[in-house]
Structure formats: C-alpha cells, structure tokens
Structure 1
Amino acid sequence: MTRSTTDEAAAPPLPSPKERRRLREAKSLSEDQVAAAVGVTRATVRSWETGRTSPRGRKRALYAKLIAPEPAAPPAPTTAPAPAVPAAVPAVPAAVPAAIVEAAPETPAAPPAEAADAETETDAEAQAQAPAGSTGERPSSPAEAFDELYARTAPGLVRQTYLLTGRRALARESVERAFELAWQRWPEVAVDRDPAGWVRAAAYEYAMSPWHRLRRTHRHADAPPTDPGKRALFDALLDLPPAYRRTLLLYDGVGLDLPETAAETEASTPAAAGRLMTARAAVAERLPELTAAASPAEQSALLHDRLGGLARAEHVPVPQPARAVRTGSENKARLWTRAAVAGVALLIAVTGLTLHTAPTHYEPPISPAERVGGVPPRGGPQKLTAQDLKLQKSLSEQLAHGPERLVPQPR
C-alpha cells in the first residue's frame, strides 16, 4: 500500500459538500480564512464545498479539523428530576421539498404538504439505506428507485424550469436531459443526500445554457399568460438576469434556505442574499401587493403562492414516461460508446496506414529547372583574325631560317 493511500485511509471522513459549507458558516469562517488556514486558494475551498473536488493528505486532515463541529458540553449534574420527554419528537426533514412539485390544484395550506413530502423523502432515503432483510419489504431495484424519483419530481420540475426559462418545450427537454444524465450516473445520484436537488441543478444548468439562443425553436420565449396578474409576474421574472431569477425561484418558489440556495447557485451566502433582495425589489415594482406586505416573511409567502399559482396555471407539457427516459439514456450512452470505439479504430487505422506508406529514409527533393542569367563569358583563346593568321604564318616560316635566331641542335 502506498503512502498516499495510507494517509487517505487514516484521514478523518468529511461530511457532504453542503454540510461542509454549513459547518463553516456555523463557525463564522469565511472562505478566505479557511483557505489561509489550510494553505490553499479561495477557489479551492469553494470547489470543496460544491463537491467538485475533495482535499487529500495533510490538507484533508486540517480541513476536517477546522470545520469539525464543537463537541457538546456534558450536562451539569443535578438532583432535580429530569423533565418529561415527549413520546414522539418530530424528525427534521432530510431535504427541503420543492413547493412547485405537486400537480394538485392551488391550495393555501402549503406547509402540511411540504412536511408530508419531506417525510416521504426521509422514508425513501431510510429504505434505500437500510440493509436487505432488515425490513419485510423487497428492496427496490435501481430502475424502480429511479422511476419513483422521476414520477415524484419530474412534473413539478418541468413547471419550475418553465418559470426559469419561459419556454415550455425547453423546460421539458431540460428535465428529460437531466434525468437521462442522472440515470447514466445513478450510482452517484442514488447515494446523494438530495437526489432531487441533484437533478434540479442539472436541469437548471442545461436550461440556462446560452447556446440555446442559437437554436431557432428556443430563440424567443413563449406567449405570456392572459391573466394580467400572472402576466406581470411572468414578465418580471424574464426581465431578471438568469442568476437573480434562479436565486428567487429556489428561495421563494422551491423553498430552499439561503445557504442551500447559495450552494446550488455556486455563490456565497451574502451574494445570494443580495441577489434575492434585488430580485424581490424588481418583482415588487410590477406587483404592488408585494410592496404592501408588512414583513419580508409575508413577501416570501405571497411570492411563493404567486409563483406556485403561475406554475400550475400554465399548460406545461408532461414529460415522457420514466421507462422512455431510461431507454433514451441507455441508447445515447451506447451510441457515444460506439462512436468513441469507432473513432479510436479509425485513428489506429490511419496511424497504421501512415506508418506503412511513410518512406524509411530521407530523400531530398529535386529542385525545378531555372534559367540562370549574369554568368561571365567562357574564357580561353579567341578566334584569330586574318591579320593574326598572316603574322602567325610569317613567324612560323622565319623560325628555322632566320639569322637572328638560334635553333638548338641535338647532341
């Protein structure tokens, strides 16, 4: 076993990314303070809290010790009788339910429905985490667990995405795309603390992609509602920047608290609070009843009801059955796998052909013929003129017979 593996095994376990953020804020620590204490950058701390990466080795131990909750103080000894404990204590819901998830008609009693949904989610998580054989019921298969999550959250998630984008077809496509991605990564999504939140984040990210502006079908928003009040709210939502619109929808529409809203939008808690206040002020200019509310809590409740009524009043298309989504996800995964295999095979074939046809030694290229100018004339004896020939002849005749010349004689 290597040293890194030993260090990771000996390091204390870390909570979930959302819990890391909550523990840091509970200790009133900023991202810069945590980064300075651990010896990393602020972006690294934010990456740890969003779940993109996780610390390792010595930094993991320092980070776990830094955000660890304070141990509870032991109760002081007393001789007085202990107070009576109630027979049943309501459990804290594991995840905040979506307020626009239900397809039932609009009702003012939202908290009981949310509590029932939270208990349902808590029971589903408890059954998923319970070992096989601990209960009398047969453990559900991955497909059944996926179908249950899809049936419970997909219709409401389409309505939420419609409020986020103002496009019905894009809302349905985004939700189906998010669930296809969730089925491809189901082992990771199934053990997530909030599977519905995982799918919601994926659907929102896909729906808010700026590349949809290049598509002709999603270039413009759908027709607004005919009711004046709902139309004013619809126009006010679409006039908000995407980040502000998403923050308002998560906090006042879905019902998440401020730290979870900030974590899902990948922003700090003060930044999320500022976006929320700015978005509320912009919507209040269109809706006078929000300005007349006495407190922020009343504004949130009123805006919650108005968003829910707008989502349920519009005729949003129903998503495909869960089986069709799973089949489409598997077909896409199979298609991408075959495309990757074909690409690798093509690359290997082209590489082999190149190696087979490539020359084994260097052959210098033959330069093309060119006409060369400016070369000096060729040197050597020139052609003799008539006068030169006459002189040459006379000299040759007088060479042996002239008195002024000495001809060497052989010995």
Structure 2
Amino acid sequence: MTQSPAPLPPPKRRRHLREAASLTQAQVAERMGVTGETVHAWESGRTTPRGRRREAYAKLLASLTKADMVTNTQEAAPPPQVTVCLTKKPNPRRAVSAPTPTPPTPTPITSAPITSAPIASTTRTPTTRTPATPAPASTPGPVAVAAHGPVPASETEPTPLTPLTPAQAFDALYAFCAPALVRQTYLLSGRRELARESVEQAFQLAWRRWPEVAVDRDPAGWVRAAAYEYALSPWHRFRPRYRHPEPPPADASDRALLDVLLTLPAPYRRTLLLYDGVGLDLPETAAETEASTPAAANRLLNAREAVAARLPELADPTALHRRLAELASAERLRAAKPTTVRAGSERRARFWTRAAIAFTVAIIGATALTVRTAPTRYEPPVPPGETVQGIPPRSAPGTLSDAELNLRAKLRSGILHGPQRLIPLAE
C-alpha cells in the first residue's frame, strides 16, 4: 500500500510563511539541502518537491505555520497604550516583496558536489511589488506623539502603493536582467556586438509581447531563452559584419577558455552555460534547452569532458564556474538603455504594421483592377482552320504552251517598233 504524499500549502502561502519567519530563500535552501532557485521554483509553483524532500519541506512549513499562528495571536491581543516622543515625523517606507537575490547552488549530477554561484542573478524572477496590508481599524495601536503635539492619523498611516505601469515594470525587468544577460550571450556566441544585439532583440520581443511576458512565471527565463535562441541562430554567418572573427580577449587563459567554449556544439555550450554558469538545476536546464533530463545530463558531462581535455585545471566544476564568471566579467559589455529598447521595439512594430497594411492595400488594388478589366460575357475561342471540301485547289502557274509563247513573242515584237510604242510625250 503506497503512502500518500505530505500535503503542502499553496505556493503563495509557502512564500508568506517564509517571509513571516524572516527567512531568506538561501536559508530555506540550506536547511533542505537544495539550491535557492529550487526553493524559488517551489514558491512560484513551477515545481513541487517529491519524496523525502517533500516530507521535510512539509514539516518545515508546518512549523512555520505554528509560529505564524502564535505571532498572529499575540498581535491580535490589544497592546498597552504607549506614548512615544518623536523628534521627527515618521517616514513610512514602501514594502518591497522581492527578497534580496542570493546565489543558488546548482544540483550535482555526479558524485562530486558542485558548490558554485551563478555568473549573475539573472535567473531570479523579479516579483511584483504588492502594497502592504493595512491593519484593521479595530486593532488599537501605539499613539505617536510629536514634540509639539499629536501627529495626525493621516501622516502616521502608510500611503498605499500605486501599481507599476507596463513601462516601469519592463524597465525594472531590463535593469535586473540585461547587464548579466549580455555577458552570458558573449560566452555563448564569442561576439560582443552580437551579444548586445541578441539582448536588445530579446527585450524588444518581450516588449511587443508584454501582456504574455508580464504574467509568465519566470519573465527573466523567458527573455534569456529568446536571447540565447537569437545568439545561436545559424543565419548570422551569412551577414557581412559577422563573417570575420572579433578580436579575442587580451588574457591568454581567457582566450583559451573562450576557444574551448566555441568549439563545443551549440546545445552542449548552452547546457554548460546554464548549469555551471547561471546555476540552474538540471530539470530547469533541460526544460530551457527543450531536452529531456537524461539528454541534458549527457550533454553536460560531454561538455565538461571536452573542456577538461584541453584545460585540465578546469576539471573541477567549481573552478569552471569561477573561470566562466571571470571571463564574463573581463569584457566591459554594456546594454542599451531601456527607453532605447522600448523605442526600437515600437518603431519595428510600426514598420511591420505599415508594411502589412501596404501589402493588404496592394492585394485589394490588384483584385479591384482584375475585377474591373475582366470580361463580363463569355467569348468562345476561335477554332483552328479546317479544309473546305468541294472547291478545287488553286494550281500554281506552270510552263507556257506554244500558243502562249507565240503570243508573248508577238507582243514583245510589236511594242518595240512602230508609232504605237508607249513613250511619254511632252504637251
């Protein structure tokens, strides 16, 4: 008889319990023996723990639930009236729900543990700011008294937060992901200009599809996948500006590592960068590369073997991660401003919209001209010629008979002599 899995609260409740206990995702990940990204995936609902990790996670949440109930009970009790003397009017701050990004630890697929941090915290999904829940009106609280009298209630209460506009949310996502994403695409393609162009194209696509990206569980992963696909496109080799290689890095060790990365097949290079560089888990790496988990593990092992064969000092995954971070940080790659990216996306959208309208108008004009010039009645085609029966064929002239020859001679002799000769006369 199988045992039913331990029940878990909803994803939003898991995050609330962790924040109520003043715990970060890194602390929960350390207790559970997983990475911070795995805890983030559990709290966002993308994945669910299984087996022993599910039981341990359920026990941890149960203990946090009890602590949260005790805290709520204590807060529900009316506190004593306290008079506080303030020398300055309190300045309420906005409540930001996004925790401080912590470097996750990638899950090992071999016997050797991998304890490394990502190149940059681009895998973290920027959470939406939510306004703080105001306290009930019936709950008594401390009375704030200023130096010269009581402070009005409107000044002590926190002001409600206004929701972010789409442009502000896009700018926040761009500022969070773009700088590190440019460095990642540089390791993926080995070209500085292509790295910047890939990130701009990915964010322009994200701005055109912002209603879809804004509700995605992992907007940063959505943009990263789009940038990687553009950077690895095989059509760049036909562009004149990308036919010749760019200047390599100045450091010899950086050049050697970049050469090794560029010799790997594109799927192997992408898997190695996501797992050992960014710090994703193996299932997340497989999902982003559109491969099964065993296939992703095989690609990762082959990529590590290829790197270790040419650079033996990078056989350790920790050393490989450190060198990838150093190589990415050695190049001064700067992304464009978010306003420039949004303007470029809108300009491109207007261009294709106008092109579609012009093409539609051309089709309508051609159709109207065809309808106007087309015949209104049926005209049968002219049939091919046929032989008419009953009429003798016209014979061609043959040789002259004796009578005809005599007549011709007579006419020729008569016209040359005598007054009957035809000559022009002047009158």
Q: TM-score range by the shorter chain?
A: 0.5 to 0.7
The one-letter amino acid of 1:212's match is H
1:171 corresponds to which residue?
A: 195
Q: Look up the equivalent residue of 1:231 and give its one-letter code.
A: R
Structure 1 residue 223, shift from structure 2 partner: 2.4
Distance in 2, Cα, partners of 1:314 & 1:190: 31
Residue 86 of structure 1 deviates from its aligned partner by: 7.7
**Structure 1 regions of 5+ residues with no counterpart?**
1-16, 28-69, 76-81, 100-108, 292-298, 379-411
Instruction: Tell me if the contact between 2:120 and 2:278 (Cα under 8 Å) persists in the aligned partners.
Output: no
Percent of residue pairs bearing the same amino acid type: 56
How far, CA to CA, are the matches of 1:174 and 1:345 in structure 2? 33
Shift of 1:198: 0.8
Deviations 1:187-233 (Å, cap 9, x if unpaired)?
11112111111111000111111111110111243222232211111
User: Residue in 1 aligned with 2:332?
Assistant: 315
Is contact 2:98–2:128 with CA below 8 Å preserved after alignment?
no
Question: Aligned-pair distance for 1:241?
Answer: 0.3
- How far apart in 1 are the matches of 2:339 and 2:98? 33
Q: Which residue of 2 aligns with 1:199?
A: 223
Paired letter, 1:315: R
Distance 1:199 1:135 in 2: 33
8 Å CA contact 1:149–1:196 kept in 2: the answer is yes
Question: In the alignment, is the contact (CA less than 8 A) between 1:97 and 1:254 conserved in 2?
Answer: no
Structure-1 residue corresponding to 2:320: 303
Q: How many positions carry a matched residue from both structures?
A: 292
Contact 2:131–2:160 (CA<8 Å) still a contact in 1?
A: no
Q: Identify if the C-alpha distance between structure 1 residues 20 and 269 changes in structure 2 by more than 3 Å, giving closer, same or farther.
A: farther
Contact 2:272 2:300 in 1 (8 A): yes
Given the alignment, which residue of 320, 336, 347 partners 2:352?
Answer: 336
Distance 1:330 1:83 in 2: 47
User: Match of 1:235, as an amino acid?
Assistant: D
Structure that is richer in helix per residue: 1
Aligned ranges 1:314-393 → 2 under 5 Å: 314-316=331-333, 318-366=334-382
1:217 alignment partner, SS class: helix
Out of 257, 275, 297, the residue aligned to residue 299 of structure 2 is: 275
TM-aligned CA distance change 1:356 to 1:95, over 3 Å: farther
Post-superposition CA distance 1:55-84 (Å, at most 9, x none): xxxxxxxxxxxxxxx999999xxxxxx999
Residues in 1 aligned to 2:239 and 2:178: alpha-carbon distance in whole angstroms: 24
2:198·2:231 contact (CA, 8 Å) conserved in 1? yes
Shift in Å, 1:350: 1.1
Identify if the C-alpha distance between structure 1 residues 260 and 337 changes in structure 2 by more than 3 Å, giving closer, same or farther. same
C-alpha distance in 2, partners of 1:73/1:199? Answer: 30
| Structure 2 counterpart SS, 1:356 | helix
What is the distance in 1 between the residues matched to 2:356 and 2:65?
66
Deviation at 1:300, TM superposition (A): 2.1
The answer (yes or no) to whether the contact 2:186–2:192 under 8 Å persists in 1 is: yes
Q: Is the 8 A contact 1:261 1:272 kept in 2?
A: yes
Aligned runs of 1:149-164 on 2, under 5 Å? Answer: 149-164=173-188
**In 1, are the aligned partners of 2:103 and 2:118 still within 8 Å (CA)?**
no
Give the match for residue 259 of structure 2: 235
- The one-letter amino acid paired with 2:294 is P
Gaps of 5+ in 2: 1-40, 69-96, 106-114, 136-157, 394-427
2:242 is matched by which residue type in structure 1? H
CA distance in structure 2 between the aligned counterparts of 1:272 and 1:258, rounded to whole angstroms: 7
